[in-house]
Structure 1
Amino acid sequence: MRNRPIPGSTGRVRAMRMLGDPVLHAPAEPVTDFGPELAALVEDLFATMYANRGVGLAANQIGVPLRVFVYDCPDDEDVRHLGHLVNARLTEADGITLRGPEGCLSLPGIEAGTERFDRAAVEGLTADGEPVRVDGSGFFARCLQHECDHLEGLVYPDRLTGWRRSRALRAARRAPWSAAVP
């Protein structure tokens, strides 16, 4: 067994983009170059996610408009899921719909009850270009759906309606990090 470095240990922490930044509201572009720059991006994503105490992070959240995300997220049975996906696509989202608290590193300190399916599957590639499929349930399924939304230019308040949406956006406008919140 090879000794592998801890994900993010060679990465650098990058600045987070906040709600209202145009890069968060546009679909990310597919990755075409699977070289050392992509490997460095994955490392930076892990380093940034851990520094901000997150469970998932998409590349556009650090201003890189590519279809890449990382995760280190437990499921409802407290099983740890650790990895990354390149050119990720949500291929299945089903089961029961649950409304649960959801937050985002691009909206720090704000949570809202958001509906998500309790099962999800995502297909994509590794940073080496190898095909991969990741299946999740419970909280991990929520994470996979959340990160795939980022790749499509969505943030979780886009899934909210009524008073939940109004409350989340009002809190974001009042937040010290607020920029051009809608």
Structure 2
Amino acid sequence: MLRARNKRINTFDENLKRLVQEMFDVMYKTDGIGLSAPQVGINVHLMVFNPAGERGEGEEIVLVNPVLYKASKKTLFYDEGCLSFPGIYADVERPASVKIDARDITGAKFKVSLSGLPARVFQHEFDHLKGVLFIDRMTDDVLESIQSQLQDLEKKYESRTGLPTPESVSNNQKRKAAVGFSQR
């Protein structure tokens, strides 16, 4: 699901509002600060986030069909985690600020500029909409430092599902070569 192609949203109705609320509920219950629709098994261009990570604090942001149209040349490393990779945290390099076009939950178009933690959260979730995972953005040294944790997660998946892991960390190097700070 995390590598699948995601579709644009064209219908802005009660179902979308319900999905957004459910995504915020999942995000808060799992102590997250951002969540994309593919992470809950729905392959559409939708993300929710709140850098404060607490319901009632900070600002809840909903972005439908977001488009990144500008990223700063300045980049920063920051220790990131991902709800799809529980308990794994590592440094990821990302642009310090971004400019975005998106739609809100009613379908209205808007532009927003983000910097700091909100920019990072947006980029992490935006990557999910493009089938890119945070491990794809890690340097070889950082990836190597968490390899045993990733392998443990793969084993846990296999034992719980009885299925082989859909993607092995040992194959990740091939994917990394194709990942850049794409705006599309």
Q: What is the CA distance between 1:95 and its match in structure 2?
A: 4.4
Instruction: Render the CA deviation track for 1:96-141: whole Å, top value 9, x for unaligned.
Output: 2111101100001001110011111222101110012222111111
Answering whether residue 13 of structure 2 is matched by residue 35 of structure 1, we say yes
Q: How many residues align?
A: 156
2-structure distance, mates of 1:55, 1:132: 22
Q: 2:34 aligns with which of 50, 56, 60?
A: 56
SS in structure 2 opposite 1:81?
coil
What is the Cα deviation at residue 151 of structure 1?
0.4
Which of the residues 132, 145, 154 maps onto 1:154?
Answer: 132
Against the structure 1 CA distance between its residues 61 and 169, is the aligned structure 2 distance closer, same or farther, given a 3 Å change threshold? farther
Partner of 2:182: none
Structure 1 residue 91: deviation in Å?
Answer: 1.7
The AA in structure 2 aligned to 1:71 is F
Distance of aligned partners of 1:71 and 1:159 in 2 relative to their CA distance in 1, 3 Å threshold? same
Amino acid in the other structure paired with 1:129: G
Q: Structure 2 length as normaliser, TM-score?
A: 0.78
Aligned twin of 1:97: 75
CA contact under 8 A between 1:157 and 1:168: conserved in structure 2? Answer: no
The 3 A distance-change label for structure 1 pair 132 and 167 is: same
Choose which of 47, 54, 66 in structure 1 pairs with 2:44.
66
Greater share of residues in helix = 2
| Alignment deviations for residues 133-165 of structure 1 (CA, whole Å, 9 cap, x no partner) | 222111111111111101001110011131212
Deviation, 1:169, is 4.0
Change over 3 Å in CA distance of 1:157–1:132 after alignment to 2: same
Closer/same/farther in 2, CA of residues 167 and 123 from structure 1, 3 Å limit:
same
Corresponding position: 1:178 with 2:157: yes
1:142 pairs with one of 96, 120, 123: 120
The whole-number CA distance in structure 2 between the counterparts of 1:141 and 1:166 is 26
| Structure 1: distance between partners of 2:105 and 2:20 | 8
TM-score of the aligned structures, taking structure 1 as reference length: 0.79
Q: What CA deviation, in whole Å up to 9, does each residue of 1:1-24 have, x standing for no partner? A: xxxxxxxxxxxxxxxxxxxxxx10
| Residue type of the alignment partner of 2:49 | Y
> Which stretches in structure 1 are left out of the alignment for 5+ residues?
1-22
| Residue pair 1:96, 1:117 contacting (<8 A) in 2 also | yes
| Aligned-residue RMSD, C-alpha | 1.8
